[in-house]
A and B are shown apart, each in its own frame.
Chain A
Amino acid sequence: MEIDLADLRKMHPRLPEDLALVMTGRAALSLQKNGHGSPVAIRLDLEQAASEGKLAWPTSDPVQMDQHDNKRLTEDGAEAVTLALAHRAYGWRIVRRMQQGESADWLLEEANEEVCSRIALEVSGVARGSIASRLAEKLEQVSRVEDEDVDQQWVGVVGFEEPVAALQSSKAVQT
C-alpha cells in the first residue's frame, strides 16, 4: 500500500486545509527528525495483519522545527499518518474532530450506497521506540468507553523511529 500525505485533504474533504497542512508538516518533521526521507518503507499493522507499505510526504524545512512543540510534532504527525491510512485501507472519511471527554479524537464515516457506519478513532504517536505498549494502553482506554453514538471504536498508533502505523478495532480487546 502506498500512502502519500500530500493527498490528505483529497482523502478527507471535511478536514480544514490549514489543519491538513500543519498535520502533514508535523508528520514530515517527525519522520525527518528520525533520519527518514520521503518515501520511506513503513510497517502497516491492520487488525494485527502486518504488511509493508510506502509512505511519502511533502518535505518540510527543518529550520521550522523550532515553531513546533515536540509533543504536538508527534501527536499531530501521527494523526496525519493514521487518517491517511484509515482512508487508504478502509475508505473512511473524517466527519469531525471530537472534544476531549468524547470517546475518541475523530469521528469518521464509512459510507456506501446502503449503510453509513460511524467510527470513533483515537490516535497517538510515539517519537522513539516501540508502539506496542502505547497501542495496548489506548485499546484498553477505548474499550472501557461505551459510546452509543458510534458503530465502531478504533485506535491508531504511529511510530516514527522505525516507521510503523497500526490500526486496530477495540473489538480486538473485547474478544
Chain B
Amino acid sequence: MSTDLLNTLVTSAIWRAEQLDEQSISSALAWAEVSSLEEKLAKAIPGSQPEGRIARRGAVRAALKAGDIERARALVERYVAEKDATRALKTALRQLLDDDARSLAERFRHAANAVQDARELARWLQEGGAFGLAA
C-alpha cells in the first residue's frame, strides 16, 4: 500500500474518530483503526523522517485513546529501540505513556493504585500466559 493511500486513509480515520468523540459516542474501535493505520505508516517511513515520527507518535496516541495500554506500551518499546529513533522522539513517546498514567490517576483519584495494579496484572498475564507458563 502506498504512503499516499495510507495518508488518505489515516486522515479519514482520524476525522471519523474525532466526530464520534465530539458526539460522546464510543470511539475506541475508531481509534484502534487509526492506531493500526499509523503503525502501517510508521513501517513505511523511517523514524529519521518527520512523517515517520508523526506516525510513530500517532500510533501510540491512538492506541491510548482506544484504551489499549498494552499495545501502546509495546509500540513505545519497539519505536524506542529503533536505531534511528531521535532523542526527542523517544522522550515524546515515553511522555505519552506518562501523561496517560497521570490522567488516569487524576480521573480515578481514589482507585488510582487499583487501576495501576490491574494494568500491571494484565501485563503480567499477557507476557506470562496462563498460570505464568510462558514466562
Checking B4, B22, B58, B86 against A72 with a beta-carbon cut-off of 8 angstroms, the contacting residue is: B22
Asked whether any CB of chain A lies closer than 8 Å to the CB of B14, the reply is: yes
B70 in contact (CB, < 8 A): no
* In contact, A96 and B19 (Cβ under 8 angstroms): no
For B21, the closest partner residue in chain A by CB is A100
Contact between A95 and B88 (Cβ–Cβ < 8 Å)?
Answer: no
One digit per residue, 1 when the CB lies within 8 angstroms of any chain B CB and 0 when it does not, for chain A 70-113 equals 01100000000000000000000011111111100001000000
Residue count of chain B within 8 Å CB distance of chain A: 24
Task: Count residues of chain A with CB under 8 A from any CB of chain B.
Answer: 23
Chain A residues within 8 Å of B8, by CB = 14-16, 96
Shortest beta-carbon distance from A20 to chain B in Å? 10
| CB atoms of B23 and A69 under 8 A apart | yes
Residues of chain B within 8 A (CB-CB) of A69 are: 22-23
Answer whether residue B113 sits at the interface, using C-beta atoms and an 8 A cutoff.
no
Inter-subunit contact A16/B12 (CB<8 Å):
yes
| Contact (Cβ within 8 A) B54 A107 | yes
Write out the residue numbers on chain A whose beta carbons fall within 8 Å of the beta carbon of B88: 148
Q: In whole angstroms, what is the CA distance A84 to B61 when docked?
A: 29
Q: Which residue of B lies closest to A96 (CB)?
A: B7
Complex Cα gap A107–B14 (Å): 13
9 shortest A-B CB distances, which residue pairs?
A149-B50, A97-B11, A96-B7, A16-B12, A97-B14, A14-B8, A96-B11, A16-B8, A14-B7
Identify 21 residue pairs between A and B in the complex whose beta-carbon atoms are under 8 Å apart, listed by A's number: A14-B4, A14-B8, A16-B8, A16-B12, A19-B12, A69-B22, A71-B22, A72-B19, A94-B11, A95-B7, A95-B51, A96-B51, A97-B10, A97-B14, A99-B14, A99-B34, A99-B58, A101-B57, A101-B61, A118-B51, A149-B54
